[in-house]
Every structure is written in C-alpha cells, then in structure tokens.
Amino acid sequence: MKIVRIQDLHGTDREVEGPNWVSRRFLLKKDGMGFSFHETIIPAGAELHMWYKNHFEAVYCVAGNGSIENLETGEVHPIEDGTLYALDQHDRHILRGGSEDMRLVCAFNPPVTGRETHDEDGAYELVE
C-alpha cells in the first residue's frame, strides 16, 4: 500500500513547474501502478497549447474553471469543478484558465517518470 500526501510533495523532485502550470506527481512509472497520477494547477488566464502524442490522459477538475479547445474540430468545452475530459485520441488542444485557478487531477498512460516537461509540440517525451 502506498500513502502519499500532497504536502509531502511540495519542494521535492515530484513537484514540477513549467510556464503556466505546476504539477505534483503522486504516482510515477517507478511506483509500478501502470499509470501516473498528478495534481496540476493552471493559473487563471493561462493558455497552454498541448498535444500528448505519446500518452493518454484523463483529467478531472476539482476546483476553479477554464476551457479546453479541440484543435482538430474547433470545439470549445467549459471546464469547472466536476468536469472530466479524456484525451483518448492524442488530441491536440488548448487548455485555458478561466477567472480562477484550475485544480486538476490527472492520470497518464503510459506513466511518466517524473521530470517531464512539455516539449515544443506540447507533449511529454515517452521514456521507456
């Protein structure tokens, strides 16, 4: 059994920051669960162009608001507390923070190793 508390991740190598986001990674590839599990904070007003071409991601919003735009279809969907979106087609997208910071809980498959940040495509490198 694994017990991980968010306050124990602050200031460790499991807390990773990039432009307009901070991710606290509860479970990583080395934890052997077959997925990674993160809390990500997106500040109000942020705009992130992303394309997880190497991973599937499910995201559940537990606080705040924003939107996600599917760049293939042009559809824009609001995100608020209680909304889940799943990037099940390696969807190119823009995630936008709304009027308040978004607190997102995310699962990645395959799992990330822990230090990944977004590359020029907005993707995480696939580490075998």
| pLDDT band per the 50, 70, 90 thresholds, residue 12 | very high
* Residue 17 placed within a domain: yes
Question: Average pLDDT for residues 73-97, to the nearest whole number?
Answer: 97
pLDDT of residue 114: 78
How many domains are contained in the chain?
1
pTM for this entry: 0.89
* Residue 123 placed within a domain: no
Higher local confidence (pLDDT), 19 or 123: 19
* Residue 96 placed within a domain: yes
Question: Average pLDDT for residues 118-127, to the nearest whole number?
Answer: 63
pLDDT of residue 104: 98
Residue 68 belongs to what H/E stretch? strand 65-70
CA nearest neighbour of 102 among 41, 46, 54, 15: 41
* Residue 119 placed within a domain: no
* Residue 74 placed within a domain: yes
CATH number, domain containing residue 64: 2.60.120.10
Cβ neighbours for 11, distance < 8 A, ≥ 6 positions apart: none
pLDDT of residue 1: 95
pLDDT at 47 over 70: yes
pLDDT at 128 over 70: no
* Residue 128 placed within a domain: no
Domain that holds residue 34: 6-109
Q: Which tokens sit at 88?
A: 């099940």
Higher local confidence (pLDDT), 95 or 17: 95
